[in-house]
Chains A and B, each alone.
Chain A
Amino acid sequence: AQTVTQSQPEMSVQEAETVTLSCTYDTSESDYYLFWYKQPPSRQMILVIRQEAYKQQNATENRFSVNFQKAAKSFSLKISDSQLGDAAMYFCAYIEGNTGKLIFGQGTTLQVKP
Chain B
Amino acid sequence: DGGITQSPKYLFRKEGQNVTLSCEQNLNHDAMYWYRQDPGQGLRLIYYSQIVNDFQKGDIAEGYSVSREKKESFPLTVTSAQKNPTAFYLCASSLWGPSGELFFGEGSRLTVL
The residues of A with any CB-CB pair to B shorter than 8 Å are: 4, 6, 9, 31-33, 35, 42-47, 50, 52, 91, 95-97, 99-107
Contact = CB atoms under 8 A, between A and B. Distances in A.
A103 B104 CA distance: 14
Which range holds the interface residue count of chain B?
20 to 34
Give chain A's interface secondary structure class. Answer: loop
B41 A106 contact: yes
Contact of A45 (B40, B90, B94, B99): B90
Given A46-B104, A105-B42, A106-B42, 7 more contacts: A32-B98, A47-B101, A50-B99, A101-B58, A102-B45, A102-B92, A104-B42
A33 B99 contact: yes
Nearest to A4: B42
Contacts of B42: 4, 6, 91, 104-107
Nearest to A42: B106
